[in-house]
Amino acid sequence: MHPDSAVAFFGDNQPLQLDSGIVLSSFQIAYQTYGTLNADKSNAILICHPLTCDQHVANPHPVTGKPGWWENLVGPGSIVDTQRYFVICSNVIGGCLGSTGPASVNPQTRKAYALDFPVITIGDMVCAQAMLVDRLGIDTLFSIIGGSMGGMQVLQWASFCKERVFSAVILASSARHSAQNIAFGEIGRQAVMADPDWQDGWYIEAGTNPRKGLAVARMTAHITYLSGATLHRKFGRNLQERSQITFGFDADFQIESYLRHQGVTFVERFDANSYLYLTRAMDYFDLAAEHGGRLANAFSKTGTRFFVASFSSDWLFPTRESRIIVHALNAAGASVSFAEFETDKGHDAFLLNEPVMFSAVNGFLQSAARARGLEK
Amino acid sequence: MHPDSAVAFFGDNQPLQLDSGIVLSSFQIAYQTYGTLNADKSNAILICHPLTCDQHVANPHPVTGKPGWWENLVGPGSIVDTQRYFVICSNVIGGCLGSTGPASVNPQTRKAYALDFPVITIGDMVCAQAMLVDRLGIDTLFSIIGGSMGGMQVLQWASFCKERVFSAVILASSARHSAQNIAFGEIGRQAVMADPDWQDGWYIEAGTNPRKGLAVARMTAHITYLSGATLHRKFGRNLQERSQITFGFDADFQIESYLRHQGVTFVERFDANSYLYLTRAMDYFDLAAEHGGRLANAFSKTGTRFFVASFSSDWLFPTRESRIIVHALNAAGASVSFAEFETDKGHDAFLLNEPVMFSAVNGFLQSAARARGLEK
Q: What was the ipTM of the complex prediction?
A: 0.94
For residue B315, the chain A residue with the least C-alpha distance is A228
The verdict on a CB contact (< 8 Å) between B228 and A318 is yes
Residue B375's pLDDT is 74
Three-state secondary structure along A204-246?
HHHCCCCHHHHHHHHHHHHHHHCCHHHHHHHCCCCECCCCCCC
Q: Which residues pair with A90 in a beta bridge?
A: A31
What's chain B's average pLDDT? 96
Across the interface, whether the CB atoms of B315 and A315 are under 8 A apart is answered yes
The pLDDT score that the predictor gives to residue A174 is 98
**Taking a C-beta distance cutoff of 8 angstroms, is the pair A102, A112 a contact?**
yes
Window from A1-10, A70-79, A361-370, B234-243 with minimum mean pLDDT: A1-10
Residues of B in contact with A220 (CB under 8 A): 187, 220
For residue A187, the chain B residues in CB contact (below 8 A) are 216, 219-220, 223, 259
CA separation for the pair B168, A194 (Å, rounded): 42
Q: Which residues of A are catalytic?
A: 148, 314, 347
Residue A2 pLDDT greater than 50, yes or no: no
Q: How many C-beta atoms surround the C-beta of residue A76 within 10 A? A: 11
- Report the C-alpha gap between B111 and B271 in whole angstroms: 15
Please give, rounded to a whole number of angstroms, the shortest distance from the CA of A225 to a CA of chain B.
12
Looking at the complex, report in whole angstroms how far the Cα of residue A154 sits from the nearest Cα belonging to chain B.
21
Across the interface, whether the CB atoms of B280 and A249 are under 8 A apart is answered yes
- Average pLDDT (A107-136) is 97
Least CA distance to B288: which residue of chain A? A237
Residue of chain B minimizing CA distance to A19 = B247
Q: Looking at residue B376, what is its pLDDT?
A: 65
Neighboring chain A residues of B220 at a CB cutoff of 8 Å: 187, 220
pLDDT tens, residue by residue, B16-72: 999 999 999 999 999 999 999 999 999 999 999 999 999 999 999 999 999 999 999
pLDDT of residue A1: 38
Chain B hits for A245, CB-CB cut-off 8 Å, are 284
Q: What is the pLDDT of residues A167-176, one digit of tens each?
A: 999 999 999 9
Per-residue pLDDT tens for A315-355?
Answer: 999 999 999 999 999 999 999 999 999 999 999 999 999 99
Per cent of chain B over pLDDT 90 is 98
- Residue B62 DSSP SS3: coil
For residue A286, give the nearest of B237, B248, B251 by CB distance. Answer: B237
pLDDT in tens, B142-154: 999 999 999 999 9
Provide the shortest C-alpha distance from residue A248 to chain B (in Å).
6
| Closest to B216 in 3D by CA, of A214, A64, A174 | A214
* pLDDT confidence tier of residue A4, bands split at 50, 70 and 90: confident
Contact A219 B19 (CB under 8 A): no
CB neighbour burial string for A57-70, b if at least 16 within 10 angstroms, e if fewer: bbbebeeeeeebbb
Q: Across the interface, which of B183, B215, B228 has its CB nearest the CB of A178?
A: B228
Strand partners, B48: B146
Q: How far is CA B357 from CA B323, B340, B351, in A?
A: 17, 9, 11
pLDDT in tens, A206-251: 999 999 999 999 999 999 999 999 999 999 999 999 999 999 999 9
Contact check, Cβ <8 Å, A247/B118: yes
pLDDT at B4: 75
pLDDT 10s digits, B256-299: 999 999 999 999 999 999 999 999 999 999 999 999 999 999 99
Could you tell me the pLDDT band of residue A375, with boundaries at 50, 70 and 90? confident
Chain A residue with minimum CA distance to B237: A179
E strands of chain A, at which residues? Answer: 6-10, 16-17, 23-24, 27-34, 44-48, 74-75, 80-81, 86-90, 105-106, 111-112, 141-147, 165-171, 305-311, 335-341
Averaged pLDDT for residues B220-235: 96
At residue A49 the predicted structure's pLDDT band, cuts being 50, 70 and 90, is: very high
- Give the least confident one: A182-191, A233-242, A311-320, B3-12: B3-12
pLDDT for res A376: 66
Supply the pLDDT for residue A301.
97
Would the CB atoms of A190 and B219 count as touching at under 8 Å?
A: yes
